[in-house]
Structure 1
Amino acid sequence: LLIRGTQEISDCFYLARLTTMSGRLSFSNITALAPMVRVGTLPMRLLALDYGADVVYCEELIDIKMAQCQRVVNEVLDTVDFVAPDDRVMFRTCEREKDRVVFQMGTADPDRALTVAKLVEQDVAAIDVNMGCPKEYSTKGGMGAALLSDPDKIEAILRKLVGGVNKPVTCKIRILPSLEDTISLVKRIEKTGVAAIAVHGRFKEERPRHPVHCDYIQAVANAVSIPVIANGGSLDPVKTYANIEEFRKASGASSVMLARAAMWNPSVFRSKGLLPLETVMEEYLKYAIRYDNHAFNTKYCLCQMLRDKVETPQGKLVQAAQTNAEFRCEYFQQVQEEHQVKRDALQTNSLHGRPIMDGDVLTMAVKFERREYPPQITPKMFLLEWSRKEKLEQPTYEMVQRTQDRAFQSTVTVAEKKYRSSLWEKSKKFAEQAAAIVCLRVLGYQRVVSAKRTLVWFVKGRGR
């Protein structure tokens, strides 16, 4: 450290504060962007990090919806996307936030919670369970604040997650009507092995207009040995960066989590003070455009920042926008051109893009078009013959079916390596053929057709 610059030394101490010796995210002495539905998407999370937040939470995502998602590496945006069967991106993240983003889920089922946690585990820093949101979006099905009345289920979910993933597990609760019951609950939660507890200092029936109960948060902090993250101070006292430390001291908590104060102006995390709203909105828009944020989500977040200015000429322009291009046309065009360059480069590298590792499986976006292959020499047949020639065991295929649309995806194992197409097929046969094509392309074989398209064969390093 003695031979490094001042900034490098500062960065080293900063990283040491965020992580434990094992490299896991620490929740002690941090300031976090709280999970907020429709707000905690990638642009807002990155902006909060820019302004000084140590940790950022994504919006609450429901386990049933997430369990149906497919993990997709988006090489154009440089993101990892979790895509629903209807092609909607449920969760998008990137390398910049990988070690600092907490994935929050809504769940009431231990097994389903673990399925989702394992799906996102490699792309996030920690897993959080929402046990405090009182809105119907969360409470239906026994999720959110509904869990507070079922401590057995809370314990079952948290123990399942702690024992099943290699990332820290946390939860966010509201206080119970009785301080004694609140203390009893958090002590029980602590025994599950969670890394931290976030406490929203309001009762389930209370809303943001009600004052936060700092005495309850303080009592919780005194009752457990793990970090407690205080939440609920955006009405009073937190309005500026200086107020964050005041709220931390008043609540007796190790850390502070901000929701509405950060939603109104995420530069509240900035130690040098708040930035003008116009500057913040411009920086937010840059992230929204660069990461192809849904235009209606972009509009929602901008309107939350405008607050009482939403009926001003600026606010009306924001409300009228239907696409990201309408928010900031010049920057939008620049980013679109950059993205197109990436698409062209990817297309040049390979007809269907480079192979991508998904866990222990090599994947490519490949569709099997039956009309392109005569029945005498399909990809499966060629792969089988190749395996025999190389004196390998014959390829084995493992099939999965998606429940919502009954589509199929196959993984082929050859020489102890696994291959599959990231695209789903309408039949088992097509799914197996697509997996075989991926394997052949990784091995270097391409399909070649004769000039009159009467003959198809495979060669190494050529083809179209």
Structure 2
Amino acid sequence: MAGRLSFSNITALAPMVRVGTLPMRLLALDYGADVVYSEELIDIKMVQCRRVENEVLQTVDFVAPDDRVMFQTCAKEKQRVVFQMGTADPDRALAVARLVQKDVAAIDVNMGCPKEYSTKGGMGAALLSDPDKIEAILRKLVGGVAVPVTCKIRILPSLEDTLTLVRRIEKTGVAAIAVHGRFKDERPRHPVHCDYIRGVAGALSVPVVANGGSLDLVKSYDDIRAFKEATGASSVMLARAAMWNPSVFRSAGPLPLHDVMIQYLTYALRYDNHAFNSKYCLCQMLRDKVESALGKRVQAAQSNRELSEAYGLEELFQQTQAELEARRDALLSPERRRGDVIAMDGDVTTMALKFQRREYPPQLTPKMFLLEWSRRQKMEQPTYQTVQRAQDRAFQSTVTVQDRKYRSSLWEKSKKFAEQASAVVCLRALGIPEGRAGEENVERLHKRKMEDTCNADEDKRKKKQVMNDDGSL
């Protein structure tokens, strides 16, 4: 879909928190969706993000100060992805829209979500009672960004009040209005009010996108047209029907759910999606099968590797990881591949490196070399302080030697690897051998290590012999 995004006669993946991440959006596009919405992203979090071009994943990432990726997109969806924002502040909304506008096809403001995480601070459905603020936000965005601006609302208690609101919204210059046909206090179990959506569609000249039919109106692709006709809307967006089986967008009919889940997981691995987000989406597709053998394995999984194993995709996992690692290595200069570019983070010396166990002989590690060097220098032994990142449980360690601190700027999968990485940074910064295969002093320390092991084994043997002699065993 080239040029400015049109909202006429489209079928869209609706914005869904925790579901509308990159793998699900790409899957919906593959199956026939014309437009995909991101999950609702809160302005106060997004405005702190920096835009990062991720050359390894070939994505654009919007990264928070704590290194969490808040929003991720890629070239494949650029012309068809709508960034949905939670906001109650016109200036902050504009700042976020300008941050993301060159990477998305449109900006949408959430004015319909009734849940507390959205309504607190006056966002989401809370905006429905403040039309002045709605108008201020939309006018600010329409006049301040180069991409189309839309909004998604819920209906008000009366059709007359709803029409008064949407006419006012239309005058701000929005490109379309999505209408969820339920009142603010209604939930998915309540039937959708198609008559309200029809009233809105008949009153406006801009496209109206109907939403809310997943309960009993949209079960297959053919039902999409019926929902569109029932509401008189220009277009339709699907939430739960698409969450349960994204292939609902296929004109040829839905695919077996197992095939859909495998395709979803393929995207999740390709774009290194957070395992807990992947697990959540897979569990939504499993629905009433979460207590099956597969469902229990998915629920128990703690990593993308374990999710892959649950679906018999171990080979795909290994292949994908190898491809990403090869791409990562290809992008690095020899110096950066070794992590030899030194930077300062406050009073901490840092290098961008990961601990590669295969580069070191068995039973030898950088931590051992650093400890050995410290002893020879008659220093206090190194101390390690390790932290764990909440969003993906990765680790980062800082080692202190003679009141100086060292760490890798990259995060590791385990505490042990994080400590080894910080030891490598310290050793390389000080120009000290770190124990890699082929380095001088490796054989000496390896010999000492073997002698220590043999001596320890001999001590155990003698102790056991003494215990046998005195009849204690």
What is the TM-score normalised by the length of structure 2? 0.70
What is the match of residue 297 of structure 1?
Answer: 277
Match of residue 245, structure 1, among 225, 236, 239: 225
Indicate the residue corresponding to 2:254 in structure 1. Answer: 274
Aligned partners of 2:346 and 2:59: how far apart in 1?
32
Bigger shift: residues 155-164 or 328-337: 328-337
Are residues 1:88 and 2:68 paired?
A: yes
The answer (yes or no) to whether the contact 2:329–2:337 under 8 Å persists in 1 is no
Q: How big is each residue's C-alpha offset from its partner over 1:184-216, in whole Å with a ceiling of 9 and x where there is no partner?
A: 000000000000000000000100011100000
For 1:184 and 1:40, how far apart are their aligned partners in 2?
31
Tell me the alpha carbon deviations over residues 204-258 of structure 1, each in whole angstroms, 9 at most, x when there is no partner.
0100011100000000001110000000000121000000000000000000000
Q: 2:21, 2:244 → 1: CA distance?
A: 15
Q: CA-to-partner distance for each residue in 1:140-197, whole Å, 9 max, x for gaps? A: 0000000000000000000000000000000000000010000000000000000000
1:317 aligned residue: 297
- Which residue of structure 2 aligns with residue 176 of structure 1? 156
Q: Give 1:144's aligned residue.
A: 124
Q: Which moved more, 1:142-151 or 1:287-296?
A: 287-296
1:257 equivalent to 2:257? Answer no
Residue 65 (1) aligns with residue 45 (2): yes
Deviation digits for residues 240-279 of structure 1 (CA, Å, limit 9, x no counterpart):
0000000000000000000000000000000000100100
**In the alignment, is the contact (CA less than 8 A) between 1:56 and 1:101 conserved in 2?**
yes
Query: CA–CA distance in 1 between the matches of 2:70 and 2:192?
Result: 32
Q: Would the alpha carbon gap of residues 348 and 294 (structure 1) be closer, same or farther in structure 2, given more than 3 Å must change?
A: same
Counterpart position of 2:333 = 348
- The amino acid across from 2:321 in the alignment is Q
Fraction of identical pairs, as percent: 77
- Residue type at the aligned position of 1:67: V
Question: What's the CA shift for 1:351?
Answer: 3.9
Paired residues for 1:430-445 under 5 Å = none
Tell me how far 1:327 sits from its aligned partner: 1.4
Separation in 2, partners of 1:309, 1:37 = 22
Rate the CA distance shift 1:68–1:313 in 2: closer, same or farther, 3 A: same
Indicate whether 1:333 and 2:318 are aligned.
Answer: yes
**8 Å Cα contact 1:234-1:260 kept in structure 2:** yes
Q: What does the per-residue CA deviation read over 1:29-87, in whole Å, with 9 as the maximum and x for residues that have no partner?
A: 00000000000000000000000000000000000000011100000000000011111
Structure 2: which amino acid aligns with 1:339?
L
- Take 1:84 and 1:70, find their aligned partners in 2: how far apart are those partners? 7
In the alignment, residue 254 of structure 2 is paired with which amino acid?
L
Q: Tell me, what secondary structure is at the counterpart of 2:114?
A: coil
Name 1:445's counterpart in structure 2.
Answer: none
State the 1:305 CA deviation: 0.3
Aligned partner of 1:39 in structure 2 is 19
Report the aligned-residue RMSD: 2.0
Structure 1 unmatched ranges of 5 or more? 1-14, 354-364, 374-451, 454-464
After superposition, the Cα gap between the structure-2 partners of 1:233 and 1:115, relative to the gap in structure 1 and judged at 3 Å, is same
Q: Distance between the aligned counterparts of 1:349 and 1:163, measured in 2?
A: 47
Residues 383-438 of structure 1: per-residue CA shift (max 9 Å, x gap): xxxxxxxxxxxxxxxxxxxxxxxxxxxxxxxxxxxxxxxxxxxxxxxxxxxxxxxx
* Cα displacement (A) at 1:352: 8.6
Q: TM-score, normalised by structure 1?
A: 0.72
Separation in 2, partners of 1:230, 1:71: 33
Is contact 1:175–1:216 with CA below 8 Å preserved after alignment? Answer: yes
State how far apart, in whole Å, the 1-side matches of 2:324 and 2:189 are. 44
Confirm or deny: 8 A CA contact 1:352 1:366 kept in the other structure.
Answer: no
Residue 197 (structure 2) pairs with residue 197 (structure 1):
no
CA distance in 2, matches of 1:241, 1:184: 33
The aligned length equals 344
Amino acid at match of 1:232: G
Q: 2:93 aligns with which of 94, 97, 113?
A: 113
Question: Are the equivalent residues in 1 in contact too, given 2:153–2:180 (CA < 8 A)?
Answer: yes
Q: Give the conservation status (yes or no) of the 8 Å contact 1:295–1:323.
A: yes
Instruction: Tell me, in whole angstroms, the C-alpha distance in 2 between the residues paired with 1:221 and 1:124.
Output: 26
Secondary structure of residue in 2 paired with 1:327:
helix
Gaps of 5+ in 2: 309-313, 350-429, 432-473
- Equivalent AA in structure 2 for residue 230 of structure 1: A
In the alignment, residue 249 of structure 1 is paired with which amino acid?
E
Conserved? CA contact 2:62–2:71, under 8 Å: yes
- What is the CA–CA distance in structure 1 between the aligned matches of 2:78 and 2:132, rounded to whole Å? 32
Task: State the match for 2:405 in structure 1.
Answer: none
In 2: Cα distance, 1:119 partner to 1:333 partner: 35
- String of CA shifts for 1:433-454, please: whole Å, max 9, x gaps: xxxxxxxxxxxxxxxxxxx99x
* Distance apart, 1:370 and its partner CA: 10
Q: Deviations over 1:307-358 (max 9, x none)?
A: 00000111001001000011112211111100111111111388499xxxxx
Amino acid at match of 1:281: M
Match of 2:28 in 1: 48
- Distance in 1, matches of 2:194 and 2:93, equals 31
